[in-house]
């Protein structure tokens, strides 16, 4: 299992993996002419990371797929930068991630076309019936920066090339959006309460102002604190703040007392298990499968995992799991946690177990 050890990455992923928060972020921080063309109810988390291990300590990313109002697809890629300095090469890195997104989409399309041809052959139809010309889905790249420095970076990729005016027509280029939280006033932080709290905590995380601001930030949750979803969200926020070496348990309790009318100790007690127990349900499922020790138990467990994570599972996938040999079951169990969609399973199988 690939464990995220960077607290900024963990917080970003935990918060923005919630589709209500992601949709609200898109609604409030993308240009209106883009937002007005989107069906925000269709937001899906497509893939968690395209970042290599060298950069995982300073970057985090999420990719979303969303439909437009005329039923076309769009990718929205959010890259969180939390370096203590501005890296002017982030645009070059961003280009690499966009290329990876396109490569992944082409792989998915390849698998779909292969399955469609097999279906056509089985039903005595022309091989390429129903297979359309392939196009890539547009990607809107967004950089969210919450480091301590002012954002001063090239706006266009072509600016990284020397003598770009002379050779501009031959250079790769694209634009991107920057959400520099350091430059946002609190009045400019918009959206549902969960999103506001998350962005404000990120804005002040590296600042001494966090000590004065945190009670007011947490108080935004006061009217919702009785809800389980709010307690879950609050545990994520406090766990993140707790990674700041300047913020000890007494500070957190004092901030909670101020935010929730002297209920800090009660809330801390409620959150204790969540803040201490880092053992994920997925790990427990894997251990349970190992203890089961029988092929039938393992295949049932894998089917359960797919259903829990992705909802309705195609009968073809269930059949493939039930017919799998011991090696495939073991490999699939190890790989499962990396799948962000059922298509990822098909890509994995195509790569490792195609005939």
Give me the tens of pLDDT residue by residue for the chain, a chain 355 residues long. Answer: 344 457 888 899 999 999 999 999 999 999 999 999 999 999 999 866 888 777 776 788 999 999 999 999 999 999 998 766 667 888 889 999 999 999 999 999 999 999 999 999 999 999 999 999 999 999 999 999 987 777 777 788 888 888 768 888 888 888 899 999 988 999 999 999 999 999 999 999 988 899 999 999 999 998 888 888 888 899 899 888 988 877 887 888 888 888 887 665 666 666 655 554 433 333 444 454 445 445 566 777 777 777 766 667 787 888 888 888 888 887 887 777 667 677 778 888 877 776 5
Residue 180 is classified by DSSP as: E
Determine what percent of the chain falls in helix, strand and coil, rounding each to the nearest 5: 55, 10, 35
**Using only C-alpha atoms, what is the Rg of the chain?**
23
Report the alpha-carbon distance of residue 213 to residue 49 in Å, rounded: 31
Residue with tokens 């954002």: 151
Signed CA dihedral, 29, 33, 36, 37: sign only: negative
Per DSSP, the residues of 35-95 read HTTEEEEEEEEEES----TTTTTTEEEEEEEEEETTS-EEEEEEEEE--SS--TTHHHHHH
pLDDT at 294: 53
pLDDT tens-digit map of 105-129 = 999 999 999 999 999 999 999 999 9
Per DSSP, what are the bridge partners of residue 68?
38
């Amino acid at each position: 299992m690939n464990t995220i050890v960077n607290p900024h990455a963990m917080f970003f992923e935990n918060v923005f993996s919630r589709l209500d928060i992601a949709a609200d972020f898109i609604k409030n921080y993308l240009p209106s002419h883009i937002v007005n063309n989107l069906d925000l109810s269709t937001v899906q988390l497509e893939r968690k990371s395209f970042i290599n291990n060298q950069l995982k300590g300073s970057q985090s990313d999420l990719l979303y797929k969303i439909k437009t109002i005329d039923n076309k697809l769009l990718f929205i890629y959010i890259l969180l930068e939390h370096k203590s300095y501005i890296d002017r090469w982030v645009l070059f890195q961003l280009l690499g991630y966009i290329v990876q997104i396109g490569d992944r989409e082409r792989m998915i399309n390849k698998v779909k076309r292969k399955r469609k041809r097999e279906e056509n052959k089985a039903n005595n139809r022309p091989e390429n019936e129903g297979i359309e010309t392939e196009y890539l889905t547009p990607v809107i790249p967004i950089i969210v920066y919450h480091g301590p420095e002012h954002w001063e970076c090239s706006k266009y990729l072509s600016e990284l090339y020397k003598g770009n005016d002379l050779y501009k027509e031959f250079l790769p280029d694209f634009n991107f959006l920057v959400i520099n939280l350091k430059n946002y006033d609190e009045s400019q932080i918009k959206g549902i309460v969960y999103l506001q709290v998350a962005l404000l905590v990120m804005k002040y995380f590296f600042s001494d102002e966090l000590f004065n601001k945190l009670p007011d930030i947490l108080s935004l949750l006061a009217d919702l604190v009785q809800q389980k979803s709010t307690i879950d969200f609050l545990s994520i926020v406090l766990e993140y703040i707790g990674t700041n070496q300047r913020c000890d348990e007494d500070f957190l309790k004092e901030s909670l007392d101020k935010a929730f009318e002297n209920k800090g100790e009660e809330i801390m007690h409620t959150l204790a298990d969540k803040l201490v127990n880092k053992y994920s349900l997925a790990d427990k499922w894997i251990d349970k499968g190992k203890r089961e020790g029988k092929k039938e138990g393992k295949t049932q467990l894998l089917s359960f995992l797919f259903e829990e994570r992705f909802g309705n599972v195609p009968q073809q996938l269930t059949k493939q799991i039930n017919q799998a040999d011991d090696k495939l079951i073991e490999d699939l169990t190890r790989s499962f946690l990396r799948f962000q969609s059922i298509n990822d399973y098909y890509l994995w199988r195509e790569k490792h177990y195609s005939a």
